[in-house]
């Protein structure tokens, strides 16, 4: 009968924003905290910001919003 052998190795990993040339873009969106509607996600924050102002104009009682940022991240292992 052969014995069971385990190898445990501790490795150090680092997590950083992905700034490689092929990384997905960082996108921004805004969501209304009152009704849940949200803007499209865009690389330029001006579009979601304009959406908020238009949404407030159509819904004068909606004053609270959430910013949604989608930022790509990557990990890498230390040698």
Reported pTM? 0.77
- Give kind and range of the element (H or E) at residue 48: helix 46-58
Query: What band does 2 get if pLDDT is binned at 50, 70 and 90?
Result: low
pLDDT at 5 over 90: no
Helix (H, G, I), strand (E, B) or coil at 55: helix
Neighbours of 77 (CB within 10 A): 8
The whole-chain average pLDDT of the chain stands at 94
Which tokens belong to 18?
Answer: 């992905």
Average pLDDT over residues 21-27: 97
pLDDT at 22 over 70: yes
- Indicate the domain borders of the chain: 19-77
User: Tens digit of pLDDT for each residue in 38-63?
Assistant: 999 999 999 999 999 999 999 999 99
Angle at 8 between CA 77 and CA 11, to 5 degrees: 15
- How many Å apart are CA 38 and CA 44, to the nearest integer? 15
């Amino acid at each position: 009968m052969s014995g069971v052998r385990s190898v445990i190795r501790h490795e150090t990993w680092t997590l950083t924003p992905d700034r490689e040339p092929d990384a997905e873009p960082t996108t921004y969106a805004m969501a209304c905290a009152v009704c849940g509607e949200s803007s499209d996600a865009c690389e330029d924050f001006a579009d979601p910001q304009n959406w908020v102002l238009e949404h407030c104009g159509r819904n004068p009682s909606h004053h609270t919003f959430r910013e949604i940022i989608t930022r790509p991240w990557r990990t890498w292992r230390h040698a």
